[in-house]
Structure 1
Amino acid sequence: MFVIGLVVPFTICFLQEATGTYEQAVLAPPPGHMQPIGSHMPPMSIEERNDFPDPIEFYDNYVLPGKPVLFKGTAKKFPSYYNWKNDTYLKEKYGSWEAKVETIKKGYMERAPTTMNLSKFIDIYKTESVYLVDTIAPPEPITGDVFVPKSVLCKSFLDNLVSIVLWFSSGGTRPVLHNDAFENINCLYDGEKEFVLVDKKHKDLIPIDHPSPNSPHLGYSSVDTEQVDMYKYPSLTKVPWYKANMETGDCLFLPARWYHHVHSLNSRNLAINLWWKAMPELEFREECEKKVSRLPQYESLIQHRLKNGVKLEELVFAAAFNGSNEIEETKFYRTTMLQFSDLKSTEDRIPLYRKLKNFFVTADTNGDKKLTRNEIETAPVEILDGFFLSQKPTPEKDEHSIQDEL
């Protein structure tokens, strides 16, 4: 009896504690559980200003420290601002432009994009689930309506431009939580966007379960951003985050490798973003400083020949293709390596070969051991990180014959 008297109260107490803990867990789930991403704690605000700084100020105060900033109303100063808001204008002037169009608006774009001209897209985008996402670059006529802001109008930035992308939909898009290898200015010509931003320093708290082959901290997360399962992703409850609400005419600087989720609200939504490679220092600073006082507020993209881009076959891989539309794997390595004649030793060339191998395997989507021009054009931009970011091809003798892309 004495033993039972000791055990029973202890057992009851234990059960009460266990039951209380269970009930508490049921009544109080983790903050933000099954709610939209960012619901777990109040956001921090980012700096806002109503002008574009000059390139020196932009680099020193925002790019180098990795500090996002929202430029309010600055896109309204571009001469083409109202053109991008006008479907009739776009259809009449650029209707024949062939663009890549996604057929899914939420999550990761796993299906291959289709191709259609801009005129057809404009006819259907308000009633069908389509999302135009494509690069634009000289000499395409549409680049005459794209303007490069003052903040990047110096050699240091222009030499490192990678790509300019047009994003066009009827709204309601929700891409995955992800990050990119490149610095980014995104200008919104129509609609509204809500950004959830997370500093790259919190990389250990972000569940990137689909990493880039070149970096475990580049890629995207399969977390459902509309209903975050905080039991499955408990680290997200600890993540400090920033909020940026973009309105029509705003531009946002998003630092390289910052994690972000973007929600385009349910209305016509058109944005153009500019990507450039991360720069540990501002090359040609003195040259840039001398020109600062004379810089215009913007320049047309069509004026600039860009050095590196997503359409790699127009640059380093041009010799590899040599006029054909496809190339076999062995020839691809051999002829592309020749473009990097400054790498003399085997020790220097082995890392490049490994990066080329990774590029080939990733871009060869059908696994036929051949690369087509289209496979290179449509390869994920992330695989450039770790390849062209550390390797620069030998310049062509006739630079004016090359048309490059941001």
Structure 2
Amino acid sequence: MTSLRLLLAFLTLEISCSAEETVVLGMHRRSEGQIEVVATVPSSTDFYTDFVRPKRPVLMKNAVPLSSTPMKWTDDYLSSKYGNLEVELETGKKEDRSKFGFFSTLKKFIENYKKKSVYMIGSLPKPLRNDWSIPQCLSCGGFTANLFDARIWFSSGGTSSVLHVDQYENLHCVVFGSKKLILMDSQYIHVIENYNYKKGYYEMDVDKVDLDEFPSLRKIPWFEATVEKGDCIYIPYLWLHQVRSYADEEERNLAVNLWWSRFRFNESDCFTNDAVRQKSLNDIHFKPELSTRDMLMDLASNGFLSADDFASTLHERVGLEKESARKAFVKLSGGGYEDISVEKIENLEYETLVSLTNYLQQLAANEQMNNDESQNDYDDSDSFQDDIPDELKDMAIYPEDENADADYDNNELEKKTEL
């Protein structure tokens, strides 16, 4: 009897411990508190000096004026004025990076998003960019010259992201609804277990975190932020974050974020006439290939980039064969395998980055084709439809669908971070 009691007590303890070790991310340990909050949007100089250069997150209250055009983006307004725009959607509200998205029209999305599990995520369509003014904190000094994407996040709330990092600087602004973020300093990026280098996220269930699998979370400090309607949050390069969205009384949550590449701030630029003029996002020439420069700078963290480091990293994180990567390095260096200084990388001409990016993409595409010829027929109508849940198939369109706006210039920046 005593042995039976001991066995039952042991099993009860085991079950209790297991339950205690599985928690929602954010309940794993006490927060260090809210990130810094400022009541007014800082100037570009102050923003760079106080926050961007030291990599300090900050929440800016009322950064999107209530009188601005985005605050007028009602469902009726968007559907009637921009309903034919082609947009990219994700299935489900809990992020799953193993799934593929699909295309629809903005009108079809608006007709369905409050009653179906679907989430609009993608580059902000060009017509909508005209409604969005550059925030004061990004108006000069080099920010606009280094912007490479503006993205829209639109749902009925209740979405949750994976814990991830962006290899870009990020200003995320909420137009409707609110968002809550968990943030951790970039110094812990390689401390937490199960980091997926190719996709830039941690392979964990944020609603059910196993602390035996992720024991480092018990020790890593984290901060929180609540971003409300009209607020913008700056998330520094490589800071870990996880995001949950909440709907407003109209069952809507909508946000726009701006990504930019790291650069050296030029204060003299803030004294030009052009810097004073208020610009919309349509005045900006976005440069998605700048993300390639960021990758190169990361690889040259010790001051130089070697051919071996370049080839090994691209093989590990992107799957490119090392010999192919070494060919790309020769193209970058100008004809040899000598180390490249970080100064040279910083000063690469944009045309060079475009050429290198296209070359790497072509190499990767050729290798994929050689490795699996059966994928040539992937884009036929049957397989396209098979990837979409039944309840959403009536929303799907093909890129060449005549009902979609052919003038929509969707830049092909991958929405999933690759680091």
Residues 241-263 of structure 1, C-alpha deviations (whole Å, 9 max, x = no match): 00001111111000010111001
The answer as to 2:60 corresponding to 1:79 is no
Distance 1:244 1:360, change over 3 A: farther
The answer as to 2:369 corresponding to 1:367 is yes
The answer as to 2:229 corresponding to 1:248 is yes
- Aligned counterparts, 1:16-165, within 5 A: 33-43=21-31, 44-77=33-66, 79-84=68-73, 86-136=74-124, 140-165=126-151
* Offset at residue 302 of structure 1 (A): 1.3
Distance 1:76 1:380, change over 3 A: closer
Equivalent of 1:303, from 283, 287, 292? 283
Equivalent of 2:205, from 207, 220, 224? 224
Aligned residues: percent identity?
Answer: 29
Residues 3-43 of structure 1, C-alpha deviations (whole Å, 9 max, x = no match): xxxxxxxxx9xxx9x99999877656797x32211112221
The answer to whether the Cα contact below 8 Å between 2:183 and 2:222 also exists between their aligned partners in 1 is: yes
Distance 1:342 1:225, change over 3 A: closer
Residues 113-165 of structure 1, C-alpha deviations (whole Å, 9 max, x = no match): 1111101110011111111111126xx22211122101111151112111111
TM-score (norm 2): 0.68
The answer as to 2:268 corresponding to 1:278 is no
* Offset at residue 172 of structure 1 (A): 1.1
Distance 1:179 1:106, change over 3 A: same
- Aligned counterparts, 1:208-223, within 5 A: 208-212=194-198, 219-223=200-204
Counterpart of 1:181 in structure 2 is: 167
Distance 1:364 1:34, change over 3 A: farther
The answer to whether the Cα contact below 8 Å between 1:46 and 1:242 also exists between their aligned partners in 2 is: yes
Is there any run of 5+ residues in structure 2 with no aligned partner, and where? Answer: 293-319, 346-352, 380-398, 400-409
Counterpart of 1:261 in structure 2 is: 242
Distance 1:310 1:118, change over 3 A: farther
The answer to whether the Cα contact below 8 Å between 2:145 and 2:285 also exists between their aligned partners in 1 is: no
Is there any run of 5+ residues in structure 1 with no aligned partner, and where? Answer: 1-11, 213-217, 313-328, 386-406
Residues 300-321 of structure 1, C-alpha deviations (whole Å, 9 max, x = no match): 1112223445999xxxxxxxxx
Tell me how many residue pairs correspond in the alignment: 335
CA radius of gyration, larger in: 1
Letter of the aligned partner of 1:230 in structure 2?
L
Residues 276-306 of structure 1, C-alpha deviations (whole Å, 9 max, x = no match): 0123x32x23233x2499736x531112223
SS in 1 for 2:241: strand
* Offset at residue 63 of structure 1 (A): 0.4
The answer to whether the Cα contact below 8 Å between 2:51 and 2:57 also exists between their aligned partners in 1 is: yes
The answer as to 2:334 corresponding to 1:344 is yes
The answer to whether the Cα contact below 8 Å between 2:183 and 2:224 also exists between their aligned partners in 1 is: yes
Residues 28-70 of structure 1, C-alpha deviations (whole Å, 9 max, x = no match): 6797x32211112221221111221111111110001110000
The answer to whether the Cα contact below 8 Å between 1:69 and 1:252 also exists between their aligned partners in 2 is: yes
* Offset at residue 342 of structure 1 (A): 8.1
Q: How far apart are the structure 2 equivalents of 1:354 and 1:292? A: 34
TM-score (norm 1): 0.70
Q: How far apart are the structure 2 equivalents of 1:232 and 1:220? A: 15
The root-mean-square deviation of aligned C-alpha atoms, in Å, is 4.1
* Offset at residue 378 of structure 1 (A): 5.7
Distance 1:381 1:154, change over 3 A: farther
Q: How far apart are the structure 2 equivalents of 1:142 and 1:311? A: 23
Q: How far apart are the structure 2 equivalents of 1:258 and 1:211? A: 15
Equivalent of 1:239, from 220, 230, 233? 220
Distance 1:178 1:361, change over 3 A: farther
Equivalent of 1:287, from 269, 279, 302? 269
* Offset at residue 229 of structure 1 (A): 1.1
SS in 2 for 1:377: coil
Counterpart of 2:392 in structure 1 is: none
